[in-house]
A and B are shown apart, each in its own frame.
Chain A
């Protein structure tokens, strides 16, 4: 079981999709990075809030989860490419037969999981399908 700081430490990033942008090479990072892999020591990093609109690059539906996520099965997990470029891993709320590569998605704020029976409930971003273009 974890302590509370493990979860609140990343609240801005996970609740509001705050990542980073390197103004030296103009590359966006989510999850946030402290060091730009392109520029390393010459990087100029600043916070950037992502819109959260993106496209499903690949996905799976999980039927057999770890104990913390058992109650949510089956659920869809995808790698999503944000409009600004970076990719992230997140759940997509829709039926397993509906999700497909190339699907457009937008972010929603949801309960993500719960540690054990009496553990910490934690929140973050999930995604839902969007009709038409984004």
Chain B
């Protein structure tokens, strides 16, 4: 297997992009990534795009061919593949692209992610997202996506003494980080009090515990590390790519407060990179809900199981803390265009490891980790990268 590096990255502004279609978002991010990588069309060997539900959100399938076409690559007949793993579709697209280059089959490959979610009403969007859960044995009985994470939160609170204030503190931190990120959907500070006064969605989770509905796209360009300096002065090396799966339904899990897919993907990734959790300088983790970040930092090995709530309140995961988490604002504040999220995480890591993250820059960032979850843990992706 060849070593693989990221030679360019781009990401659109995240938010309610009423004026822009899925195609517009793809073109916008594609141009940014290709300009950043200084790559021209003839050099591109392949495309992978993460997209959860073009069919439900914009009534468009066949997203692979569509993005190749929109990117002006139709006459080059570049192979283009859509990959889907619910909210982990972007992370999975990145992994497929890394494997394509690592195998030696392709040289320059684009990994992209896109979701256009605001063309449908809230109810339709909620139902499309619920399709990441078990339609026949969870949703049929009235489960919603927030409800599943709420049940993780409830048991975490019962077993480890995690509090609603600690859940809220995750949202407060990620909004604070989002304020320093120009692409972030929310750029406003919030307080624990404000989170606790927001309406209940699925008890104990409130509106401000949940990531929003977002339009956005992101792309990174990959090349073999041995060729990377031809394109970029500061290529970012992929040290590990790992993926794991688990039961689709939450009720079938070994332990409801642990995402075993995250545990297994992390274990594999740390093995590949030859690193331990304490050697990671910062991480982007899957905080679709505040409890998601708390479980993630435990499952990835940054803190002991049950200590995730305390970690936020004690400042460990803030910028300047021991392990800054979600410097981009995370899914919570930066936004969660589901198929794009895994690629946006890689984009943020590229900025941080290049030292280009501006006010939210983590001093001396050398090694970063990204963690992307599909559903409430049916799929997990972990990537580790370094400058």
Which residues in window 69-119 of A have CB below 8 A to B?
A: 69-70, 72, 75, 77-79, 87-91, 96, 101, 112-113
Which chain B residues (184-227) contact chain A, with CB distance < 8 Å?
199-205
Q: Are A62 and B144 in contact (CB under 8 A)?
A: yes
Instruction: Classify the secondary structure of B's interface with A.
Output: helix
Q: Which residues of A contact B233 (CB under 8 A)?
A: none
C-alpha gap A124/B147 in the complex (Å): 19
Interface residues of A in 44-71 (CB under 8 A from B): 57-70
How many contacting A-B pairs (Cβ < 8 A)?
101
Distance A67 CA – B130 CA, assembled complex (angstroms): 12
Query: Does B37 sit at the interface, judged by CB under 8 A?
Result: no
Q: Which of B50-58, B133-141, B307-315, B339-347 interfaces with chain A?
A: B133-141
**By the criterion CB–CB under 8 Å, are A112 and B142 in contact?**
yes
B141:A77 contact, CB within 8 angstroms: yes
Counting CB contacts under 8 A, is B251 at the interface? yes
B146 touching A64 by the CB < 8 A rule?
yes
Specify which chain B residues have a CB less than 8 angstroms from the CB of A75 in the assembled complex: 142
Contact status B202-A67, CB under 8 Å: no
A64–B203 CB distance below 8 A: no
* B250 interfacial contact with A, CB 8 Å: yes
Q: Nearest residue in B to A9 (C-beta to C-beta)?
A: B136
Find A66's partner among B136, B144, B150, B204 (CB 8 Å cutoff).
Answer: B144
Contacts A77-B141, A101-B155 known; A66 to B123 CB distance under 8 Å? yes
Nearest Cβ in chain A — how far from B238, in angstroms?
A: 32
Beta-carbon contact of B203 and A79 below 8 Å: no
Known: A61-B202, A63-B199. A90 touches B141 (CB 8 A): yes
| Measured CA separation A64–B124 after assembly (Å) | 13
**Chain A CB within 8 A of B158 CB:** yes
Query: Which residues on A sit within 8 Å (CB–CB) of B146?
Result: 64
- In this complex, how many residues of chain A approach chain B with their Cβ under 8 Å: the count is 34
**Chain B residues whose C-beta falls within 8 Å of the C-beta of A126 in the assembled complex:** 141
- Any chain A CB within 8 A of the CB of B78? no
In the bound complex, what is the Cα–Cα distance between A9 and B250 (angstroms)? 23
Most B CB contacts (10 A, CB to CB) among A31, A60, A90, A101 go to A60
Which residues on the A side are within 8 Å of B249 (C-beta)?
31, 89
Please determine whether B136 and A124 come into contact, CB atoms closer than 8 angstroms.
no
B141 contacts A91, CB within 8 Å? yes
Give every chain B residue within 8 A of A62 (Cβ-Cβ): 142, 144, 147, 201-202
| Distance in Å: Cβ of A112 to nearest Cβ of chain B | 6
Whose C-beta in chain A lies nearest to the C-beta of B247?
A37
Query: Do B127 and A63 have beta carbons less than 8 Å apart?
Result: no
| Complex CA distance for A31 and B135, rounded to whole angstroms | 12
Instruction: Say if the beta carbon of B283 comes within 8 Å of chain A.
Output: no
Are B140 and A112 in touch, CB under 8 angstroms?
yes
Bound form: Cα–Cα A63–B202 in Å: 6
Bound Cα distance A42, B20 (Å): 54
- Name the residue of chain A whose CB is nearest to the CB of B139: A66
* Nearest CB of chain A from residue B202's CB, rounded to whole Å: 5
Inter-chain pairs besides A60-B147, A89-B251, A113-B142, 8 sampled, C-beta below 8 Å:
A31-B136, A31-B249, A64-B199, A64-B201, A67-B127, A68-B127, A89-B137, A90-B141
Residue pairs across A and B with Cβ atoms less than 8 A apart, 25 shown, are: A31-B137, A58-B155, A59-B151, A60-B150, A60-B202, A60-B204, A60-B205, A63-B201, A64-B126, A66-B123, A67-B123, A70-B123, A77-B141, A78-B151, A79-B151, A88-B137, A88-B251, A89-B138, A89-B141, A90-B141, A91-B141, A96-B203, A101-B155, A112-B142, A124-B140
**6 smallest A-B Cβ distances: which pairs?**
A60-B150, A58-B155, A67-B123, A87-B251, A61-B203, A58-B151
Binding site for B on A (CB under 8 A): 10, 14, 31, 57-70, 72, 75, 77-79, 87-91, 96, 101, 112-113, 122, 124, 126
